[in-house]
A and B are shown apart, each in its own frame.
Chain A
């Protein structure tokens, strides 16, 4: 098919503008990497910083030997692994009966779960509940309150419902119970949706900070994001409050450490992102908004 001049111009412009947009998405990360690898004087130079002109690994040495960061890393890793496993199990066990037509009160139960997407008790009652349950300063405060979400239940339920019903009937004839049907027949066939839920949950746990801010006061139990928040945001805010505007070298040693902490925090996500991103996207298609 021949293209008109107008169409060819449009194609060129469209390709170019999209490249600029992609660069804008990437640049903040390039800048951060560059600052994290710079010497303090190089970091204090005004300008765009696409790469470090004077290389220094001091900030990384300081970040990686900081005991808080190491503690945070371990705690975050723990909540991510344990939280993801528990969410997967609980979500599947909740979704399975709801996916079965013969489940008594199925519509009412589905409504009870979906309603939690529309309304919640909010911050204070949630906090008081966790406190009453004695979960403050335990990893359970970070895992249990958000363990099952209505959204996850609905997308897994929809996936289960799309599986052929004859599978259940033939398993039944072979004498399989509900648990066996779920674990031996449904789950092996549901890998795409399970991968999506697992990845969403894992990223959510890795990035979570607000629950830790509320529920964890003991620094030995604290997560990585909270330590990052202290280093990055609190120091900036303090500087602004104190009216520090001069670009002293001391402040910019702080900048390189902030940048290095950010990079250390996002590195695991960056490393797995290229391999798993298609599952994230697939999940959106699986879910849809309509139940």
Chain B
């Protein structure tokens, strides 16, 4: 609040900026109603919520819903599945946009670079309802992926109903959808590198590979750290849209994640349990993002981090 004149009395300060305040009021009301009221609604995680009694009329049960969650079979499994899928996505997918950006960066013909880029981020603009529909056809019994498998002399694979294969399909199609869009951020970082650095490196006799290793890659590290912190916050998210639109009961053992669990509990009208599960996910995500940001700032002495 150092922006305003220090000697201004409180009432005067508000009065003087009544125009701005009245403009802010609707948006503030919106955020309070649609974002903060639902946070208050999380109290039903600590209640035995009965719709006819309402949120405030329902009885308190303390931590009982959380105890029920963790003693059940499905919820710990859902957490395990979520972590597995998220970690696999990070392991195989985190560097995909970096590599794509580096490859695009080496292309000298601007037109070719632009066309390839436009095609690679096209999948980002379609919902997983659409992409899921397409992939169910592609990976299905008579689809082209199995045609390729047969061409290689192997037996057709049940990609969509086999536990292991289904996870592989999730990871691969996830990278397919996100890598091109993810590369844009890195390409922006690359375009910000001063050409002087490369000129100096050439004078010093650096090869193209050495320039990439010692100039290009290090300049991407801050962006990578930022995106890594953000992806940690989503580690219990694991891609609900994609999974919901591609999974089936035969792969629940490996593909039922926290969000699909919450949705099924909600549809089953066990609202307190569903809220408790969702709240657990939200709190863990918040702690991870704040923690990772704190850690990144600490090791970089305040230079890295999202905020």
Contact = CB atoms under 8 A, between A and B. Distances in A.
A284 B117 CA distance: 15
B31 A148 contact: yes
A203 B119 contact: no
Given A90-B30, A178-B19, A241-B248, A290 B307 contact: yes
Give the interface size class of chain A: 35 or more
Contact of A177 (B19, B21, B180, B263): B19
Contacts of B140: 236
Interface in A231-289: 232-233, 236-237, 240-241, 245, 247, 255, 258-259, 262, 265-266, 269, 273-274, 277, 280-281, 284-285, 289
B28 A47 contact: no
B254 to A, nearest CB: 15
A111 B278 CA distance: 23
Give the interface size class of chain B: 35 or more
Contacts of B34: 129, 144-145, 147
A277 B184 CA distance: 12
A236 B142 CA distance: 13
Classify the interface of chain A: helix, strand, loop or mixed. helix
Nearest to A237: B248
B239 to A, nearest CB: 13
B112 A233 contact: no
Contacts of B290: 118
Interface in B133-159: 133-138, 140-142, 144, 146-148, 150
Most B CB contacts (10 A, CB to CB) among A18, A22, A44, A245 go to A18
Nearest to B112: A15
A140 to B, nearest CB: 12
Given A46-B142, A225-B129, A233-B245, A262 B134 contact: yes
A46 B156 CA distance: 11
26 contacts: A15-B112, A21-B120, A25-B119, A28-B135, A47-B147, A48-B147, A49-B144, A97-B23, A102-B16, A102-B17, A103-B17, A103-B24, A106-B3, A107-B1, A116-B35, A119-B286, A122-B278, A123-B259, A124-B274, A128-B55, A147-B30, A148-B27, A179-B23, A236-B140, A277-B118, A284-B184
Q: Rank and list the top 7 A-B pairs by shortest CB-CB distance, nearest first.
A: A121-B38, A125-B41, A94-B27, A122-B278, A232-B133, A207-B127, A125-B38
Interface of B: 1, 3-4, 13-14, 16-17, 19-21, 23-24, 26-28, 30-31, 33-42, 44, 55, 100, 103-104, 106-108, 112, 115-116, 118-123, 125-127, 129-138, 140-142, 144, 146-148, 150, 160-161, 176, 180, 184-185, 188, 208, 226-227, 230, 233, 240-241, 245-246, 248-250, 259, 262-263, 266, 271, 274-275, 278-279, 281-283, 285-286, 289-290, 306-307
